[in-house]
Structure 1
């Protein structure tokens, strides 16, 4: 019998268990426009072998059950972590855990105060893990995660939802004192945003800023501090779209900026994920919309949808409907259930549908926007200029009519119209309130003009379509192996794999 061989270093290494996967803990803001891209990011990370824990509250977790089920079927290491939502918040009605549930402007601050109380439960969850996570990725607005990461010695990246163009404008406005200048200005005074590689002009109403309205000073200052102390930033964009702004933003921020988008293309080969992204799908409604689009000519339909927050009162809603009708263009229009609650609006909408039967379709409630934008019949998009919506449209080669409402949307409009050349402005000049705004900011004539210009013929319209298609092709290339976003994601995961993890 031969003597047993002593194990060599090589065989010892071969027998050693593989290192645990890189573990990212993602903490989105409880708002659909912020949660959806971070859910997409979770999927992208998991597809590269990372473990991902998506942290949210019970009401929001219920909305994301489809994600968890899909991840399980696809054998992706994504898990939902529910933190108990605080119940002792003055001024916040029970049951409100998401910004889109708020029905009174006075409830926004109490909701953010409630979110800050999640710091303790988050830290407790992280301490109970067998090993510290590799990295915490939190929304720019979730400044309360900064102390948790510092306490545990966990690296933290912030995710900022708008375009890099907007983020650079905002950072430069802070660093150069533009916010103080605009606060003291008249409504129509114009200012040039300093430090930009292109000329950007804003008014008091359209100047950059998140959480910097009266009453939000503490949240804003805390968010700026959390941004300054983070280890880097993640942005939902790609270099062929915003490279000059990414370069400047990274220099101004003084830390790495990871461009990993368009995140929405994480779903490009999965019809089920595309249809359920952001909410549980209404299969019957989806089938009705798809069947209607299937019967329309390629590129003939303009799609109108204005995001999850802004709700139009009847006077403004009527202008939108008449404008779409007067444009003469086939249209698919999404109207919120809360916008058609009264009998007179319901009756008016039915009359509009009767008059435009055959070339118009009105969908009530939530629809799978990404699936619609990817349909061959859609040739234009009337949008509120939220960055998710704009990037989804760009990624599918669809030019846009821009109708910004608030926050980052006015500067996002400047990017797509003035810099990228893929948009037609409807003419909105000032923000609207989320609720009960009686102003008619845009008339039916504005809507009809912009839609006709976007969808019509002529050299300018064709050039917009050409540019949109080109950016769409570049977006897909960015996400494929060898593309800029694909390789950036590889480098991000590998950087945390190399750095290892600290034991609890």
Structure 2
């Protein structure tokens, strides 16, 4: 029996990328592919341990994170720095080129899978004659909106994406009905961050363009049942293979609960099925005091039972300073606010939870829809606004209304919550989310059909399997 094919993966240093790369690695290992997951020491320590059952096929490989003067000690991921420092994280990340090349030379893998940021991995792959895959942690609708490589740089970019306003309408190459586009307040930040210069000396748009130009295959965390029209469109734009990996739904984790969380779950056990709203905005969304307070007052106005997983923002000295004065006392009967780490997967799986108020990041969308939860979306950064429009197009979410400057009120929050969770106008969405759970929660579909198919493609197209 021949040895399993070997893949080396390298994600960008953001947990919104590292976690999907790990989920892809686990899924490939389950299909008999040997995976070496490359990241930096502190990031690897913060990732889940590899299951003993997969330890022969999936291993972590540490690569030292270079020191850059502008970064604080120990900063190895976007969560460790403010938004203005991410450009220096890219400076350090680019210094991984030489040690990553050495890893490829030492391991001689059959495939390399990397992210948008490591444009230099294309030359490494070519120099070592290893085929390269680009793995998109964003969905196909986002990939289509961002567009093919010719519109990311040079004259094509100037013609199609000259300013933020150009990001507020459906692009010319999307030929079917779609509302997937940025609002102007979102577009301003995205245009500056994606097309603008940064300390690394290479724009994010240029990084992505080089990766799309040089890779042999694009793989996307999605499935045809959900957005097949976008996958097919993107492949026609790219003129190279585009493969859906399936949704890579996270596995349930049976964490040991401390006393506080045990009490929370007892509280949930007493609630009616599908009646409780889960609220969570993750660690990458750094909300302002005004935003946190408007969300809090919106929850209070909605009069819905809720559980809010909340991280203490940097602007608050103590947890007691985060929420409006008296909020927790006034909502103590119907609401729970839990600071710090939360067993999110276990919370979402609880039968009393029926809806989610969150940022509409793609990973969180997948986590929520596998349980059929109705979605109330309040996007803030990167792809979140595009995801929100996609979900609304597919009758799976209600988006909180905002002003032109991106601000929102407590009344906007409460209105969206009640519409989604209890009012008659939200019934169509509640039915659609229950139905789509049959796809999002079908682990056999995603593992056996999609990952099994991807693994087989990699085996058939690995250079050593095609050698005479």
Q: After TM superposition, is the score higher than 0.5? A: yes
Partner residue, 1:474: 439
Distance 1:344 1:462, change over 3 A: closer
Partner residue, 2:127: 151
1:60-459 equivalences under 5 Å are 60-64=43-47, 66-68=48-50, 71-73=51-53, 77-87=57-67, 89-103=68-82, 105-129=83-107, 132-171=108-147, 175=151, 180=158, 191-196=169-174, 197-200=176-179, 202-207=182-187, 211-216=193-198, 217-265=202-250, 267=251, 270-272=252-254, 283-284=258-259, 286-338=261-313, 341-342=316-317, 345-346=320-321, 348=323, 351-418=326-393, 420-428=394-402, 441-458=407-424
Partner residue, 2:454: 492
Distance 1:172 1:128, change over 3 A: closer
TM-fit CA distance, 1:391: 1.9
Secondary structure at the counterpart of residue 193 of structure 1: coil
1:190-213: per-residue Cα shift (whole Å, max 9, x none)?
533212122435454445769524
TM-fit CA distance, 1:223: 2.1
1:322-357: per-residue Cα shift (whole Å, max 9, x none)?
110110000111221235733595384572222111
User: Would you say the 8 A contact 1:234–1:257 is kept in 2?
Assistant: yes
User: Would you say the 8 A contact 2:312–2:322 is kept in 1?
Assistant: no
Q: Determine which structure has more spread, i.e. the larger CA radius of gyration.
A: 1
1:104-157: per-residue Cα shift (whole Å, max 9, x none)?
x3311110010011111111122222xx21211111233232222122111111
Cα-Cα RMSD: 2.7
User: Would you say the 8 A contact 2:359–2:377 is kept in 1?
Assistant: yes
Distance 1:250 1:283, change over 3 A: farther
TM-fit CA distance, 1:394: 1.8
1:276-315: per-residue Cα shift (whole Å, max 9, x none)?
xxxxx87555434433322221100111111221222222
Distance 1:76 1:351, change over 3 A: farther
TM-fit CA distance, 1:400: 0.7
User: Would you say the 8 A contact 2:246–2:446 is kept in 1?
Assistant: no
Distance in 2 (CA, whole Å) between partners of 1:264 and 1:188 is 34
Distance in 1 (CA, whole Å) between partners of 2:45 and 2:183 is 41
Distance in 2 (CA, whole Å) between partners of 1:361 and 1:28 is 35
TM normalised by structure 2 equals 0.89
Q: What is the number of residues matched between the two proteins?
A: 456
Distance 1:50 1:184, change over 3 A: closer
Structure 1 residue ranges without an equivalent (≥5): 1-17, 276-280, 433-440
Aligned counterpart for 1:46 among listed residues 29, 33, 37: 29
1:41-94: per-residue Cα shift (whole Å, max 9, x none)?
111111111111111001101112x322xx22555521111001112x232222
Secondary structure at the counterpart of residue 427 of structure 1: coil
Partner residue, 1:29: 12
Distance 1:72 1:470, change over 3 A: same
TM-fit CA distance, 1:175: 3.1
1:4-34: per-residue Cα shift (whole Å, max 9, x none)?
xxxxxxxxxxxxxx21111121111111111
Distance in 2 (CA, whole Å) between partners of 1:292 and 1:365 is 19
Distance in 2 (CA, whole Å) between partners of 1:430 and 1:232 is 39
Distance 1:327 1:159, change over 3 A: same
Distance 1:502 1:431, change over 3 A: farther
1:415-466: per-residue Cα shift (whole Å, max 9, x none)?
0002x1011110246687xxxxxxxx221111111111111131x3221111
Distance in 2 (CA, whole Å) between partners of 1:209 and 1:258 is 27
Distance 1:33 1:291, change over 3 A: farther
Distance 1:371 1:147, change over 3 A: farther
User: Would you say the 8 A contact 1:33–1:308 is kept in 2?
Assistant: no
Runs of 4 or more consecutive aligned structure 1 residues displaced over 6 Å after TM superposition: none
Greater shift in the superposed pair: 194-203 or 231-240: 194-203
User: Would you say the 8 A contact 2:26–2:58 is kept in 1?
Assistant: yes
Secondary structure at the counterpart of residue 38 of structure 2: strand
Distance in 1 (CA, whole Å) between partners of 2:327 and 2:215 is 51
Distance in 1 (CA, whole Å) between partners of 2:124 and 2:132 is 10
Structure 2 residue ranges without an equivalent (≥5): none
